[in-house]
Structure 1
């Protein structure tokens, strides 16, 4: 006689979902490295003065730990909503605090940050407008925003939509995958094309400096060379990496 595995309790809402330790809270290393290199180029060497970099939505801190050697000499502070994620983040970065992307929800004074890392967060938000307003508040004038998010118009998503299949990265439920490839539920609420992301960030008080592409670790191995090639045309890449400055 076999015993059925215990049924996993379904999340009651977004807060319960993100406090679940089984939910992924880390991005892939390749795009974390690309984003860190873009920021290091923008900030310049720490010999000209250490800068404060705030990693909003730091998750378990692994992305900040990956970026730290590239941003050597600069101060990185992690922020997350999830208490579970923050417990894990303390193992990777020296400073990690709780905060929310609401009006005054981040525990920092206005204009205190030289740069904000905003990796794979915006697609999870109910109110991305309020989030960019709060990021605009804590950045100094001319401060840098490094934002990454999955691309709705990734090369394979275009083909999937033509075939009537739900695109990768998009989700219709927090409880299970329906109508698209993949098995992992990660809580995406919003997706952007390159054009939409540029326009949205510019309308939120930022000047878009550049947009680059990055590969996605979940692409099947035989298709990864094509995924890397697509990065040459960011509008078709798996991941969008946007660099903007506060105006």
Structure 2
């Protein structure tokens, strides 16, 4: 959400500072991601987990009991988000995703949570460089992002309809289902996400799926079933290790 080496553009800054813009991505995704991370950190008691782009802290609050015994620190550049997150997380700091923008020493973190952030970024390559910098060698990156190739998006594209999660404006919805503008700038398929992480200096990339809380109730069984085939799931959960 930052331009290279500078502050966010005024339009993006105002958009993401608006408390009405959704920042939570659904408890099911948060629980799945936390369970994956808890398993990965089983041999690392008292690990430092940095939740980058913590938003209002809802996801970290859901993950907290699953990650009991580990220290979670929330990071966001939005002062309003940090104000709302502090009661839920406890320890929060302001930071950004450009070179040296995260207030952590090189190699200090055992794990980074990066949940539904990468799709909002102007420069995702610089962001991954910064996450890699603060992770120790072998440290864990847990990234989640909406899936451009989700099962329903495949049908929508065949029908000539704009896919869910994609947006052409910060002012309104145009040509796709849904009513909320959330500011997505980047979209990934499972294949693209794996390639992106490998090129950014990560290895052992494992991708699983998670459901999307915005799927209509009558379609949620299908959405949960699609998680067994991650390339068709609503949400992509990636677990990778820093080289």
Are the counterparts in 2 of residues 201 and 208 from structure 1 also a CA contact under 8 Å?
Answer: no
Residues 175-194 of structure 1 correspond to what in structure 2 (within 5 A)?
Answer: 175-194=171-190
The equivalent residue for 1:23 is 21
The equivalent residue for 2:210 is 214
The equivalent residue for 1:67 is 63
State how many pairs are aligned.
Answer: 235
| Distance in 1, Cα, partners of 2:205 & 2:217 | 32
The equivalent residue for 1:126 is 122
Residues 43-82 of structure 1 correspond to what in structure 2 (within 5 A)?
Answer: 43-44=41-42, 49-82=45-78
Are the counterparts in 1 of residues 99 and 130 from structure 2 also a CA contact under 8 Å?
Answer: yes
The equivalent residue for 2:34 is 36
The equivalent residue for 2:5 is none
Q: Under a length normalisation based on structure 2, what TM-score does the superposition of the two structures give?
A: 0.95
Are the counterparts in 2 of residues 208 and 242 from structure 1 also a CA contact under 8 Å?
Answer: no
1:174 aligned onto 2:162: no
Cα shift readout 1:112-156 (whole Å, capped 9, x = no counterpart):
000000000000000000000000000000000000000000000
Residues 144-155 of structure 1 correspond to what in structure 2 (within 5 A)?
Answer: 144-155=140-151
The equivalent residue for 1:236 is 232
| Distance in 2, Cα, partners of 1:206 & 1:12 | 33
| Distance in 2, Cα, partners of 1:174 & 1:133 | 27
The equivalent residue for 1:3 is none
The alpha-carbon deviation at position 208 of structure 1 amounts to 3.3
Q: Structure 2: state its 5+ residue gaps.
A: 1-8
The alpha-carbon deviation at position 91 of structure 1 amounts to 1.4
Q: CA RMSD in A?
A: 1.1
| Distance in 2, Cα, partners of 1:240 & 1:229 | 14
List structure 1 runs of 4+ shifted beyond 6 angstroms: none
| Distance in 2, Cα, partners of 1:202 & 1:88 | 34
| Distance in 2, Cα, partners of 1:224 & 1:65 | 24
| Distance in 1, Cα, partners of 2:45 & 2:166 | 41
The alpha-carbon deviation at position 245 of structure 1 amounts to 0.1
1:223 to 200, 219, 225: 219
Are the counterparts in 2 of residues 198 and 208 from structure 1 also a CA contact under 8 Å?
Answer: no
Q: Under a length normalisation based on structure 1, what TM-score does the superposition of the two structures give?
A: 0.93
| Distance in 1, Cα, partners of 2:129 & 2:24 | 24
The equivalent residue for 2:91 is 95
Q: Structure 1: state its 5+ residue gaps.
A: 1-10
